[in-house]
Amino acid sequence: MAEEFTAQMSTCRGRWRLYVALLNTFEPWPEHTLGAGVPTFTDRVNALRALGFEPVPGAEWTWTEDSETYGDPASPVVLIASVRVRSRAGVAA
């Protein structure tokens, strides 16, 4: 059975960045920069494939709202999306 990880997507300087959190390692986290508009489901899956991952069957993207400045209710909103992923068959992570 393939090991599972969490992929997250957030905005950075107006562009979306998708990355796979590889915990308990010193390896750099795989990441992919997407365009400025909110990426479609297909954009996200293609980015994961380019990184050697795929969503776990049945996994759904969840969206979390955070604030740019902790504790400041007037701070701009930051959206973070996440999904459970696994390494694609035949692709080394």
Per domain, the residue ranges of the chain are 4-87
pLDDT tens digits, one per residue of 25-69 = 888 999 999 987 889 999 999 999 999 999 999 999 999 998 888
pLDDT band at 1 (very low <50, low <70, confident <90, very high): low
DSSP 36: S
Average pLDDT value over all residues in the chain:
89
Q: E strands of the chain, at which residues?
A: 4-12, 15-21, 31-33, 53-55, 62-67, 77-87
Q: Please report, as a single letter, which amino acid is at residue 88.
A: R
How much of the chain exceeds pLDDT 70, in percent? 92
- For residue 45, the Cα-to-chain-centroid distance in whole angstroms is 10
Question: Over 80: is that where the pLDDT of 92 sits?
Answer: no
**Cα angle, residue 78 at apex, residues 72 and 84 outer, rounded to 5°:** 130
